[in-house]
Chain A
Amino acid sequence: MLRRYVVARILAGVVGIIVFLTAVFFGTRLLVPGDFADNFAVGGNPGDAARVREALALDRPVWQQYLIWLGRTFSLDLGQNPRGQPVIDQLLDALPWTLTMFAIGLGAAFLIGSRIGRWAGWRKKSLTPTTLGAATFTSVFPPWLVFLAFYTALNLFGFSRFNDLTALDFYLWRQGPPQDSILWQMMGTALILVGLAAAAIRLLPLKWKAGARRASLFLVPLLTMWWWSQLGIFVYAQDLLGFLAMPVLVLFMLSIGDIVLVIAASMDGLSDSDFVVTARAKGLTDRQVRNRHAGRVALLPALSRLTANLPFALGGLVIVEASFARLGGYRIPVPGVASVLFGSLRERDLMVTMGGLVVVGVITLLLRIVLDLIVVKLDPRIQLEKVVVRA
């Protein structure tokens, strides 16, 4: 049943993606005036522009251009940028940076935020300092926060310039491996170890599970680092993580408030429901009722909220990346998908802009499928037969 659900989900996703791609194509046509050949309008002669248009098929009717573009996109060919580099390569180089920041920042925010929210929503109080603080955190203006974080860090650590605080070690990378491959390796090893730990904990007898879960919080990072040192990428990983520390911290701060609020809200609604009363009547302690009974149920609305908000979360990440790039804090801006998008907007390079949107859409699709599967796994009330028929 699960396999059928996944297939149905992916099929529905593909239909959605095609509609999305159509919107992207015609939307960018409408939103961004002119085309790539307009770059030659100044200084070149009209023949040049016409020749470029012909070479890029920009002189054909729009529906032909659309079909060509759609076909190429599905064969993973997103065109070339003005320097003759395939767009897909440019975006794939940028992708691990964005994914690493997203995974660490949002993962940490979810882990910590759900615990805080669980605690804050349990007592039915009108307005606690925690909720007020969480609301404030979600309201902070990102560029402002980035600047303040920089300024504080600068004064704390005694650096004189922004660049000293956050720059990759030039001498380390001069002859080193490409950064994106290191990032892929880092993420891959961490994922494998987390998966192994989860599988191992499943096999353990019940009485050891809680302890093992707690121990894995420390063991998994240690083991990951040990693996990195075995692969010989530890120094590089260290440098990259230091480089990404500030953006990740800001992303964490910007997204934790929302998670706290959602979890607190659903805890608030649960605290007088029947199963909580039953758990209390069994004689469980307040903490047990909160964490084991109400807390688990409260995760579900937070997860579905996350699904609905994924594009906003990715957009927020873009905002954070852009803030860092614009503040000049980085000698090179964080080379994520946002930087690629911004560069393409400056150069009026439609292929890269559309490619960036496609990549963001595909990431959203994959994350949504994963989140949907988690919800199906967590919520026994969802009956897959009915879901499959609907999807």
Chain B
Amino acid sequence: MHSRTVWLRGWLRAVMAHIEAKIGLGILLFFGLLALSHPVLLETVWLPGIYDPRAGYDISLSHPSPPSGAHLLGTDAFGKDTFSMLLAGTWPALLAGLTAAVTTALVALAVASLSAGFRTADRLLGIVVDAGLYLPVPIVLLIFGADPRADRLTPFIFGLLFGALTGISSGALVLRSQAMPIMASGFVDAARIAGASTRQVIFRHLLPALLPIACAYVVLAAAGAVVTQGFLSWLSYTATYNDWGTLVYWAIVTRDFTGALLWHVLLAAGAALTTLTLGFHLLAIGLRRAAARPWSSQPPPLREPRVAAVVQQRFQPAEPT
């Protein structure tokens, strides 16, 4: 493998050494499989007339029905299959979380590297970040979603907004404070002496060093996005129709006209939301532990042999004459 990606491999190995990261990644992959399986199941095993998450109805049963062989998690008060609705709600949640993670990473890393590299940008961005910290992100999204006329908050747009707001406020704060010690460290000085431009310092030294902690923070933001999106759909403020939050809402609300609480719907949807968020949280713990003690099993690979050589060459102690 190319020498530039050595640090990436070492980092991945260090992350996967932590059991939290393994479990968290496992949970995320599991939900990814669930999301993929839904269209496949509807194509092959399930009759769309019975199992469609929006309009399915099983006339052979009275609804709501408890879990059975035909309906693994039972049906809700409208006769729709709970398991199918649960699977249909997986993709919106995953999409919101992943979009939020990527957007947070891009915004926060951009702010951090700009303010680490350029002093004027640091002044301006400092004010912006400071102002962003007064913004309560869930409330802003609530205001955005509250307009009943427009179905605006699709999972993708939700993720973009959540990521942008989180990235510009607390994400940028965290990464900026992490970037400052890196910029003052010895290897950056060495690179500067060797003639590296600010751009080279940012892309070849700052960003790789910032990446571990950025990943940990970004995955945490994804967890927040999943919870917030569930909450907004619970209030029916998002554009998604089949959603875990909506499922929780209907499970509680139908209690009023069916007389009994639909425990199978409530527990399934709530547990799915909690487990996916837990997956993101555990992955974040693993990533953070790996970032706190990077490459604990082996010495860090020498990133720039050339720099070391150049530094040595230029700063040879003067020979006594």
Q: Chain A contacts of B170 at CB under 8 A?
A: 308-309, 311-312
Minimal Cβ-Cβ distance residue in A for B279: A139
Q: Chain B contacts of A364 at CB under 8 A?
A: 133-134, 136
Categorize the interface residue count of chain B: 35 or more
Stretch touching chain B among A28-36, A39-47, A78-86: A28-36
Categorize the interface residue count of chain A: 35 or more
Name the one of B137, B169, B252 contacting A327, with C-beta atoms under 8 angstroms: B252
Question: Closest approach, in angstroms, between the C-beta of A369 and any C-beta of chain B?
Answer: 12
**A311 near B136 (CB under 8 angstroms)?**
yes
Please judge, given known A-B contacts A143-B234, A310-B133, whether A318 and B248 are in contact too, CB under 8 Å: no
Please judge, given known A-B contacts A16-B134, A309-B170, whether A139 and B281 are in contact too, CB under 8 Å: yes
Q: Chain A contacts of B275 at CB under 8 A?
A: 139
**B130 near A16 (CB under 8 angstroms)?**
yes
Q: Chain A contacts of B244 at CB under 8 A?
A: 141
How far, in whole Å, are A353 and B269 apart by their CA atoms in the complex?
Answer: 31
Q: Chain A contacts of B173 at CB under 8 A?
A: 308
Q: Chain A contacts of B18 at CB under 8 A?
A: 126
**A135 near B147 (CB under 8 angstroms)?**
no
Q: Is the interface of A mostly helix, strand, loop or mixed?
A: helix
How far, in whole Å, are A140 and B248 apart by their CA atoms in the complex?
Answer: 13
**A136 near B278 (CB under 8 angstroms)?**
yes
Name the one of A19, A31, A127 contacting B19, with C-beta atoms under 8 angstroms: A127
Question: Closest approach, in angstroms, between the C-beta of A212 and any C-beta of chain B?
Answer: 37
**B146 at interface by CB-CB < 8 Å:** yes
Question: Closest approach, in angstroms, between the C-beta of B112 and any C-beta of chain A?
Answer: 14
Question: Closest approach, in angstroms, between the C-beta of A208 and any C-beta of chain B?
Answer: 39
Q: Chain A contacts of B55 at CB under 8 A?
A: none
Q: What is the 8 Å Cβ interface bit string for chain A, positions 213-230, against chain B (1 contact, 0 not)?
A: 000000000000000000
**A20 near B134 (CB under 8 angstroms)?**
yes
**A144 near B270 (CB under 8 angstroms)?**
yes
**A360 near B274 (CB under 8 angstroms)?**
no
Q: What is the 8 Å Cβ interface bit string for chain B, positions 276-301, against chain A (1 contact, 0 not)?
A: 01101110010011001100000000
* Interface residue ranges, A against B (CB under 8 Å): 12-13, 15-17, 19-20, 23, 27-28, 31-33, 126-127, 131, 135-136, 138-144, 147-148, 151, 261, 265, 268-269, 308-312, 314-316, 318-319, 322-323, 326-327, 341, 345-346, 353, 356-357, 360-361, 364-365, 368
A-B contact pairs, 24 of them (CB 8 A): A13-B130, A16-B133, A17-B131, A126-B19, A127-B23, A139-B275, A139-B281, A140-B277, A141-B244, A141-B245, A143-B249, A144-B273, A265-B285, A265-B288, A265-B289, A308-B170, A308-B173, A314-B136, A315-B136, A318-B142, A319-B138, A356-B139, A357-B140, A361-B134
